[in-house]
Structure 1
Amino acid sequence: MKKITLIFFVLISFCLLSEVKAQVAEISSPDGKLKLNVFSEDGKALYSVTFQGKIMLEKSPLGLITNESDFSKNLEFINSKKDVVSKKYSNEKIKKSEVEYKANTLTVNFINVNEHSIGIEFQVSDNNIAFRYEILPMKDRFSCLVLSEVTGFKFPSQTTTFLSPMMKPMTGFARTAPSYESGYKADAELGTKADYGYVFPGLFHIGNEGWVLLSETGVSSLYCASHLNTTKENNLYQIAYPNMEENNGFGSSGSALSLPGKTPWRTITIGNSLKPIVETTIPFDVVEPLYEPSQKYQFGKSTWSWILWQDNSMNYDDQTLFIDLASKLGYEFILMDALWDKNIGKERMKELVQYAKSKNVGVVLWYNSNGTANDAPMGPRNKMSSSVERKKEMKWLKEVGVKGLKVDFFGGDKQETMRLYEDILSDANDFGLMIIFHGATLPRGWEIMYPNFAGSEAVLASEMLYFSEDVRKQEAFFATLHPFIRNTVGSMEFGGTFLNKFLTKSNKDKNKRHTTDGFQLATAVLFQNPIQMFAVMPNNLTDAPKFQLDFMKEVPTLWDETVFIDGYPGKYSVIARRHHDKWYVVGVNAEKTSKKLTLNLPMFVGKNVQFINDDKNGNTFTKPVSINKKGEFEIEIQPNGGFVLRN
């Protein structure tokens, strides 16, 4: 009996020692609620994450593979180091203008069988984890190609997903895909396959345990952008690099890295509610500006004719109408879209820019990104892809007084394409030009990294409301997703807020809008971008109610604070944004029945505010209301409807 007891004690001791050996480091958030553990097991590096003691990510793989060395297996733990990081920064282009960031840091170092070293740096703030790899020089090697990653995210089995599939390369309009313009599916089954994986960001619902948002940030010309892919294990998602077919097959699918070199940050935002998801600033907290702004850039509202008047509007006379519209609305900009080079020409464009300047309206011009990676025929073409041509063009743009560019049709996440994004931004800054990207990838910390970056599309945006009845029917559904997924990690230039009942130039006969005016006004606040191309038309000056026009004149595009109020992605969304001392609380409803809510609005306690809402017939009205001393307000949001409260 004593012998059996001794053997049992030895086995227990061995198991305990093995467990101690397996876990090599741990770190918690400043508030202690979020905890990350790092393991070394069977020559592999892994990590797990808990929040308030609940498992959010099970043991998940870490590591990458280069052409010089494999850092996914045969790894030996060397050491770890802890520290703290604290900083304050300001940025008017993101959801919160003043940010204080505090995090605990952990660097874990491994060596592989070839005696090559890799470090994994973690920053853990309240509700957020950011991590990246650092590869050190390999003896006489000071560069390498990073071929792939095994980095993964293993979720509990009860998880459901909110993901958007990556588009097939070289498909879609004029072979311009992928452009991050697929829709999301709500509460899909864990492990649902997609042919080309899923774009960042991805939202995961861990049942009653909470929520996890995955994304990446800090992607520059030094690396490719990545996405998520499913694996043989339904609950494990892994980092995937671009498909070789992207960018017309030009460029590597991996990344060329000078050593020592660091990868972009992978980010994980976690909460037991959606509040930390909506309010996170982690995409911006861990990156720094790559260059100084050449001037103080101005942001604001813009008109644009193309969204409803289409290609035929790209003529001198129609553009003067939209300059006049911008002037009457008090908007800072007009966007002149594709084909201006052919239909207006540079000489007459000088006249239009001067006319706009006389009306205190700045001009933003559209450009095709290049002529090699897609078949888009619209011009100007072949001006942005060549350094020589780009600088010539930007010199002319500065001389005539253009304020910025909308550059379209990129179609890929390869390092080669990331370099093109950065080159356009950097050159544009030299000439005092702002840049908006369309037909593009997700912005990954670019609001901080590039001072003249003014937003990206990277969403199933307003143009598809014009072209597709199916998208029009799902407008409210997608709108309720964006504050929790796409727009929470980066600026989103959607190009919407329609006051036309029919999405046509004539405002009749076809393309009937399925959402209310209250819904449209709410999205002007619900969607965040430093420059918003609003779809207000010249006819709206006479056929839209005055209170709606007044709202569209006054609504800001820059925000000092963003607060989650209520919502569930795909069903309804209510958020608050503050501009200086003015609060806007907005909500939209995608469900088939009206939504009755009691909102907690501490920013309006005891105040009289303007209320815009829809009645049961879908008619939008406005009236003053008082918020009680508890800050509670009862509201009913109609199906496909929306509301606004503002002081």
Structure 2
Amino acid sequence: MKKVTFIFLLLISFGLLSEIKAQVAEISSPDGKLKLNIFSEEGKALYSVSFQGKIMLEKSPLGLTTNESDFSKNLKFINSKKDNISKKYSNQKIKKSEVEYKANTLTVNFINANQFNIGIEFQVSNNNMAFRYDIPPMKDRFSVVVQSELTGYRFPSQSTTFLSPMMKPMTGFARTAPSYESGYKADAELGAKSEYGYVFPGLFHIGNEGWVLLSETGVNSLYCASHLTATSEKNLYQVAYPDMAENNGFGSSGTALSLPGKTPWRTITIGDSLKPIVETTIPFDVVEPLYEVSQKYQFGKSTWSWILWQDNSMNYDDQVRFIDLAAALNYEFILIDALWDKNIGKDRMKELIQYAKSKNVGVMLWYNSNGAANDAPMGPRNKMSTSVERKKEMKWLKEAGVKGLKVDFFGGDKQETMRLYEDILSDANDFGLTIIFHGATLPRGWEVMYPNYAGSEAVLASEMLYFSEDIRKQEAFFATLHPFIRNTVGSMEFGGTFLNKFLTKSNKEKNKRLTTDGFQLATAILFQNPIQMFAVMPNNLNDSPKFQLGFMKEIPTLWDETVFIDGYPGKYSVIARRHQNKWYVAGINAEKTTKKITLNLPMLTAKNVELINDDKTGNTFIKTVSINKNGEYEVEIQPNGGFVLKN
């Protein structure tokens, strides 16, 4: 008895008893390594997350505010309920074609000062957690405006960040920002302020403890998209809603929600290494298709002239050359970019489409998303922004034989913009068209939600390599980040893999490429998108080595499996991907010295494979090498260089 009393007094003296009493629920992942604790303290709902007994997120706030009632304070815990979920699903457009998802679930219910209820649903799988708010009707109120969220992430003090800032709305080219094309700072200190916040996803390094990746998924027309913002508390980041200036100031920064209603999922991926970060499927695990697929859609590789030949190439003759290039490379598509409506016209476009069909090449066409959201002048304009014009245009597109569209210049995360994304996708499905978004926000589970969705940019992509010497100097640095951050949560339409030594039509004199051919070939594997617009040019058929062209002909864009091999964001990255029974291992190096590493490749144990790599002078070669009986292979990666292994 004395021992019990002593422990009781000890807990009081350290202030721990109140915390124990405040904990109202807990749940762990199926393997028991990831643990979630829920607290109710001083009228606030909080949560903390640990992995293998180590704190990865300290007590962090939960809650939201609406125009009808406040769920950020004066909350009283009611009850909790546990369950589990298990499902298998297939999706050819993501990093893994067959997925088995198992999670333990927890729902905690609170009541606020107005006696209105709110539920918080959690799904905890191995290395991943997703949660969202469930708002029931409020007496006679069956609709609310969700104004803000208290949702936060409080990191241990030793953490560093890998974040990309939101752009100032209605700035940049033709007032199209935010276009989600900012760079990253690697291993930055906690609490650095960005005036407009930081885009999802955000990566955090918890010192020697591990890694945390934050994002969101399940955003559709019923909600706005969100982002991260730093707070006055150095180690606390919170969910923030869109800036009012977005979308030309039109629309709400919050969300009009019918009740009962649910928010999108906030996702957290945690590991003691980067392997769970690269391999996570949580953005897709917790969402479902929103409509039936109207037909079987085709994905694959595409040529496009604009990336180096620019606006002047939007003419009939140049597009014939790129159709012929696609046919020579056995590519499924050609993308015909902006201004085709003016420079080619619909009548001659029908002729081009028929010519492409004769070469077994499908045509994709560029469209402006405008509307009144910004000043982007390129056409076709005002064809995607309203239901009547969109359906008329898509009817013509289907009759003409177009396979898909690339729709550009969105610039905002408001609910109104999310509705436009969904309307375009849904209507396009009715007419059998695939959709790629450019100048667009992060996809949030859309590969599953929308069957005809085929990728988004939402990254500092290949066109900036053409326009900016500074971005060319940082190409390798940013490329080593994408497999761990942007591309791990969604398809990324980058549009790269240049074989030209100079990023110009003439392939000489200016815009010299600062990365090796081996680097460029490696990014064709490192960057994942179901339709890849590669930057191969007609001149490359004659001026590039045959083995490089052979590689660009065979490389798939759909993957059955993705495996993290090695790397550190901003320094180097090595990823393996499998298509059917064929493995491709790719690595790149952003550091200033040669990187010598021993790769652990159990999938290639004791096999002879082809190696594409760079020598010390930067020349790229191919040879056959053997993986030893332990599945190990030592490779050197040159600065700004890369390699590929393939069986």
Length-normalised TM-score, structure 2: 0.98
How many pairs does the alignment contain?
A: 644
Q: Distance in 1 between matches of 2:11 and 2:20?
A: 14
Number of the residue aligned with 1:528: 528
Deviation at 1:19?
A: 3.0
Number of the residue aligned with 1:336: 336
* Structure 2 SS opposite 1:424: helix
Number of the residue aligned with 2:597: 597
Number of the residue aligned with 1:556: 556
Q: Distance in 2 between matches of 1:107 and 1:40?
A: 14
Structure 2 spans left out of the alignment, 5+ residues: none
Q: Distance in 2 between matches of 1:525 and 1:312?
A: 30
After superposition, where does 1:579-618 map in structure 2 within 5 Å? 579-618=579-618
Deviation at 1:371?
A: 3.0
Deviation at 1:20?
A: 3.4
Q: Distance in 2 between matches of 1:102 and 1:79?
A: 24
Q: Distance in 2 between matches of 1:286 and 1:329?
A: 38
- Residues 299 and 6 (structure 1), Cα distance of their counterparts in 2 relative to 1, 3 Å cut: closer
* Structure 1 SS opposite 2:80: strand
Deviation at 1:179?
A: 1.3
Query: Is 1:55 matched up with 2:85?
Result: no
Number of the residue aligned with 2:631: 631
Deviation at 1:21?
A: 2.5
Query: Is 1:467 matched up with 2:456?
Result: no
Q: Distance in 2 between matches of 1:9 and 1:540?
A: 78
Number of the residue aligned with 2:64: 64
Let me know the Cα RMSD of the aligned residues. Answer: 1.3
After superposition, where does 1:539-578 map in structure 2 within 5 Å? 539-578=539-578
Number of the residue aligned with 2:174: 174
Supply the AA of the counterpart residue of 2:298.
Q
Q: Which moved more, 1:337-346 or 1:5-14?
A: 5-14
* Structure 2 SS opposite 1:27: strand
Number of the residue aligned with 2:22: 22
- Residues 258 and 629 (structure 1), Cα distance of their counterparts in 2 relative to 1, 3 Å cut: same
Number of the residue aligned with 1:102: 102
Q: Distance in 1 between matches of 2:231 and 2:204?
A: 16
Number of the residue aligned with 2:491: 491
Query: Is 1:43 matched up with 2:43?
Result: yes
Q: Distance in 1 between matches of 2:467 and 2:247?
A: 25
Deviation at 1:9?
A: 4.6
- Residues 566 and 10 (structure 1), Cα distance of their counterparts in 2 relative to 1, 3 Å cut: closer
Q: Distance in 2 between matches of 1:189 and 1:80?
A: 37
User: 1:433-458: CA deviations, max 9, x gaps?
Assistant: 00000000000000000000000000
Aligned residues of 2:370 and 2:376 also touching (Cα < 8 A): no
Supply the AA of the counterpart residue of 1:381.
R
Deviation at 1:611?
A: 0.3
Number of the residue aligned with 2:322: 322
Number of the residue aligned with 1:268: 268
Q: Distance in 1 between matches of 2:240 and 2:62?
A: 13
Aligned residues of 2:160 and 2:187 also touching (Cα < 8 A): yes
Supply the AA of the counterpart residue of 1:457.
E
Number of the residue aligned with 2:345: 345
* Structure 2 SS opposite 1:283: helix
Deviation at 1:234?
A: 0.5
Supply the AA of the counterpart residue of 2:151.
T
Percent identity between matched residues is: 87
Number of the residue aligned with 1:155: 155
Q: Distance in 2 between matches of 1:275 and 1:508?
A: 40
Supply the AA of the counterpart residue of 2:288.
E
Q: Distance in 2 between matches of 1:478 and 1:467?
A: 16
Supply the AA of the counterpart residue of 1:439.
G
Q: Distance in 2 between matches of 1:184 and 1:449?
A: 28
Structure 1 spans left out of the alignment, 5+ residues: none
Supply the AA of the counterpart residue of 2:18.
S
User: 1:226-280: CA deviations, max 9, x gaps?
Assistant: 0000000010000000000000000000000000000000000000000000000
Number of the residue aligned with 1:443: 443
Number of the residue aligned with 2:289: 289
User: 1:191-248: CA deviations, max 9, x gaps?
Assistant: 0000100000000000000000000000000000000000000100000000000000
Q: Distance in 1 between matches of 2:261 and 2:13?
A: 41
Deviation at 1:13?
A: 10
Deviation at 1:85?
A: 0.3
Aligned residues of 2:182 and 2:460 also touching (Cα < 8 A): yes
* Structure 2 SS opposite 1:364: strand
* Structure 2 SS opposite 1:349: helix
Q: Distance in 1 between matches of 2:12 and 2:246?
A: 54
Q: Distance in 1 between matches of 2:349 and 2:10?
A: 85
Deviation at 1:12?
A: 4.0
Q: Distance in 2 between matches of 1:346 and 1:603?
A: 50
Supply the AA of the counterpart residue of 2:383.
K
Q: Distance in 2 between matches of 1:361 and 1:313?
A: 19
Q: Distance in 2 between matches of 1:15 and 1:280?
A: 38
* Structure 2 SS opposite 1:301: strand
Number of the residue aligned with 1:619: 619
